[in-house]
Chains A and B, each alone.
Chain A
């Protein structure tokens, strides 16, 4: 996700980040180095070195810091970002289970009722176009019990 613009809001003590689809805020307290009232940010700009996927700020003391868009997405609990993260973790787990399984890959493919190409796409951790549902099916084929725990977020 590319950043279009970023602004300093010293009153709210946040950075205001505008992307092509959404506007996010990111509190100073989550940035490192942390801007303070005695050392506030005086400059901020979208960082082109990291493909406009982050921004760099300069504090009054001259110290520089960089924030990546993923930190912003995580802080704002962006659903798309969290979904990709979940998919990645499930895929890596599925890869370990496939390696450890006594089932042959041919049998896994047969039980999934899919093609070999689709099976390998499911196991590709860089592929975010598959659904969580498909990876769950694969884990079921691998005789895994999947418990879904929904809990309130701690403060």
Chain B
């Protein structure tokens, strides 16, 4: 099971990013502005899931 948590980018916290967890473990903290991992290394599947969420306008 994958849970995502989107940081809404409070005033002083650029870049906008999303945390992806699987079974309570952080898979990746992904920088949505620079398209780079801030922590962890995402698999291709996680990358495409993030892309899908972006495409759907959910993040």
Contacts and interface: CB of A to CB of B under 8 A. Distances in A.
Interface of A: 30, 32, 48-54, 66, 68, 70-71, 74-75, 85, 88-89, 92, 125-126
Contacts of A70: 7, 13
Contact of B19 (A30, A50, A52, A74): A50
B5 A74 contact: no
Given A70-B13, A71-B10, A51 B34 contact: no
Interface residues of B, number: 23
Nearest to B14: A89
Name A's interface SS: helix
Contact of B38 (A32, A48, A88): A88
Interface in B21-53: 21, 24-26, 31, 34, 36-41
A48 B25 CA distance: 9
Given A125-B38, A126-B40, A68 B26 contact: no
Contacts of B3: 49-50
